[in-house]
Chains A and B, each alone.
Chain A
Amino acid sequence: MSAPVVGFAGLTHLGLVSAIAVASKGFRVIGYDADAARVHDIAAGQLPVVEPDLDELARGVAGRITFTSQPGDLAACDLVYISTDVATDARGESDLSAISALITDVIAALAAPALMVVLCQVPPGFTRRLPLPPERLFYQVETLVFGRAVERATRPERYMVGCADPAKPLPKPFATLLGAFGCPILPMRYESAELAKIAINCCLVASVTVANTLAGLSERIGADWSEIMPALKLDARIGRHAYLAPGLGLAGGNLERDLATITRLAAATGCEASIIAACIANSQHGRDWAVRVLHSEVLSRNADALIGILGLAYKENTHSTKNSPSLALISALAPWRLKLYDPVVPASAATHPRAEGASSALAAVKGADALAIMTPWPAFRDLKPADLARAMAGRTVLDPYRVLDARDVAAAGLDYFTLGAPPYRAKELLHA
């Protein structure tokens, strides 16, 4: 059999990166999205997502990938991925109406023997209910990580594939496609695969929750969580890739969605799942770390404070602001003046009556009574504490992700606040 033609229905973050990754392995790919303007932009090389190495990879596969807004064009495919991002609301609940409509259109367009693979996040039980013969219907766990999407899509650790019968070999086109990536393939029943994605995220959330809890304790008892983390990572039972860096609560939408799904399923089935509620509460507490510190250190004493905020995206190397801790902070600072800067996200992403965008990180800091580095963009690591001290009117620096060196900042005469350690105060350093 010749190499299969692979379709991707839905060209949001997940679909676009996945389509380009498959094309990079030599397959012919057809990318479909009902949004003609989006398709036009993508075909013109204007990608609507920001990911390291994505633009370069897209240019390299230009001859093998075509984009269309006509669902009928998918009839040329041997298998079609349903690959749109599933929107979530403020509570993390998925809105499945768009994906359901997309699936209806794709099934109508599919050639008779073609396969359909659901790639996006759906709740357990979703795939089995779809109106397609089971031998043509699959679910594949997506493992997209914002900011590392190309790396994850081109060099996956493994594939988890949901099937009607995991004991049967995968159909040839699907096996050929997945085999090209040279990683283990784990067939399992539909529900297992759908839950596997959630299980991965729950493990990550549990790990982050433990880290946040102990980092918070470290801040109060004089410990430094950054000194503890390496020791944990050298424990084989925990591992060097464990999610142990403290953060400002869960963000991005996917983890929150999975917690909402487990909460709903556990309630419906009577399963004990209080750990999930604890993780959600911990996340809410963590998200507000910066507003608590700012209030305690600056806002309670300065009614007209100017706050410089660096970073609006929910994490580095992405344009996404879904559940961004930075935007949450900004919404809690309504009475104060703000200057905002993000290398990718425009200041207009934040709705605030007294916020203005700045042209650079240093411009956002100029005259500020406090600085909060809310997204650990690599470029912010180049900021010199002495430059910050000269530019700022106040002395308070919040750097939850340790973009800057705490001692350097304190040595520059600034008070430095981070997650997982007590404050580094300039005065204390002087007297040390």
Chain B
Amino acid sequence: MLEHTATGTEPLGGVVVVGAGGFVGNAICTRLAAEKVPHLALTRKDIDLLEPEAATKLQRMLRPGDALVFVSALAPTRNNSMLIDNLRMAETICAAVAAGQLAQLVYISSDAVYADDANPVTERSCQQPSSLHGVMHLAREVMLQTAFKLPLAILRPTLIYGARDPHNGYGPNRFRRLAAKGEAITLFGEGEEMRDHVHIDDVAMLVSAVLHRRSHGALNIATGNSFSFRRVAEMVVALAPQAAEIRGTPRQNPITHRHFDITDCIKAFPQFHYVPLSEGLVHVAKESA
């Protein structure tokens, strides 16, 4: 559960976004720019968190009272080498923030930290990741909690979609690209698995809200409504400029579902409302047309 330490009416001080070149980081910076929040967008070109001097370099960039948004990750974490590199990146952040000048640290984690059978997922669900990617995020969360004693907000988005997502993972983004080319969408099994998909703008909006309220604690970022992959594929195809086949395949793995109970988000930000998937997909289709 998030707790707020500011009313949100005060103007926001400086925000440093580490990982601003990525899909999520870029969206956060776009949001902050639209809100005229002074921010420093750091990409890997500006600072490589794996470099030996990165912590010192970052420390010099941080001003007292700044908030730091840590988005950088080598994702998804597919192997041990990537896991170790991701943890070293977090080690750099820990070293940079240890001086204690920051007003707030916001970490963009993932719902991969939760056990596969946690349903419906809340912020208090069992954190027992089954993937290296989830292990990486959970380890980073603990590292940051240990290193940073001031307001630390851990945000755990579920599957994010958006027109500019460079990833091509199974879900709306890949389905859209296939449908745009008129190619068949191949489902795992019949696409029965239910998942929650959140629009990138909602992620950015919640990060901004967390910064404005100087919140600390954990918050899942999910709409609270899950859809089967087949249903998602059908929605995407309906919006595509040309017909595309949706094709099932023999099931290889057991069906798992993921649903979210978003009561904590409703309580933390009562006037924030997620974009429904049907509307978000329309938005993405227009943006990518």
Which residues of A line the B interface, CB within 8 A? 281, 285, 288, 291-292, 295, 299-300, 303, 332-336
| Least CB distance, B127 to chain A, in whole angstroms | 14
Inter-chain contact B261/A285, CB cutoff 8 Å: yes
Binary contact track B114-127/A, C-beta < 8 Å → 1, others 0: 00000000101000
Least distance between B128 CB and chain A CB atoms (Å): 14
Q: Which of B124, B261, B266 contacts A332 (CB 8 A)?
A: B266
* Neighbouring A residues of B263 by C-beta, 8 Å: 285, 288, 291-292
Question: Among the listed B122, B124, B270, which residue makes an inter-chain contact with A299, where contact means beta carbons less than 8 Å apart?
Answer: B270
CA distance A52 to B124 in the complex (A): 40
- A333 touching B270 in the complex, CB below 8 Å, given contacts A285-B261, A291-B263, A292-B263: yes
Which applies to chain A's interface (DSSP): helix, strand, loop or mixed?
loop
Is there contact, CB below 8 Å, between B261 and A335?
no
Q: Once the chains bind, are A303 and B271 in contact (CB under 8 Å)?
A: yes
Question: Which of A281, A285, A295, A336 interacts with B266 by CB under 8 Å?
Answer: A295
> Secondary structure of the B side of the interface?
loop
CB closest residue in chain A, given B274: A300
Known: A291-B263, A291-B266. 16 other contacts (CB 8 A): A281-B124, A285-B122, A288-B263, A288-B267, A291-B267, A292-B266, A295-B266, A295-B270, A299-B270, A303-B271, A332-B266, A332-B267, A332-B270, A333-B270, A335-B270, A335-B271
Chain B contacts to A: CB under 8 angstroms = 122, 124, 261, 263, 266-267, 270-271, 273
Can you name 14 A-B residue pairings with CB atoms under 8 Å? A285-B122, A285-B263, A288-B263, A288-B267, A291-B266, A291-B267, A295-B266, A295-B270, A295-B273, A300-B273, A303-B271, A332-B266, A333-B270, A334-B270
A303 to B263: give the CA distance in the assembly, Å.
18
CA gap between A336 and B122 in the complex, in Å: 25
Kindly state the separation between the CA atoms of A229 and B122 in the bound complex, as whole angstroms.
29
Q: When chains A and B are docked, how far (Å) is the Cα of A295 from the Cα of B263?
A: 10
For B261, what are the chain A residues with a Cβ–Cβ distance below 8 Å? 285
Nearest residue, chain A, Cβ from B261: A285
CB distance from A3 to the nearest CB of B (A): 54
User: A86 to nearest B CB, angstroms?
Assistant: 27
**Interchain CA distance A252-B273 in the complex, whole Å:** 32
Q: In the complex, A130 Cα to B81 Cα: how many Å?
A: 62
Q: Which of B122, B124, B263, B271 counts the most A-chain CB atoms under 10 A from its CB?
A: B263
Q: Which residues of A contact B271 (CB under 8 A)?
A: 303, 335
**Chain A hits for B267, CB < 8 A:** 288, 291, 332
Q: Which residue of B lies closest to A292 (CB)?
A: B263
Q: Which residue of A lies closest to B265 (CB)?
A: A295
Compute how far the CA of A303 lies from the CA of B94 in the bound complex, rounded to whole angstroms.
40
A291 to B263, CA, bound (A): 8
- Which residue of A285, A295, A299, A335 has the most chain B CB atoms within 10 A of its CB atom? A295
Q: What A residues does B270 contact at CB under 8 A? A: 295, 299, 332-336
Tell me, rounded to whole Å, the shortest Cβ–Cβ distance linking B93 to chain A. 32
Q: How far is the CA of A28 from the CA of B7 in the complex (A)?
A: 59
Q: Quick one: closest A residue to B270, CB to CB?
A: A335
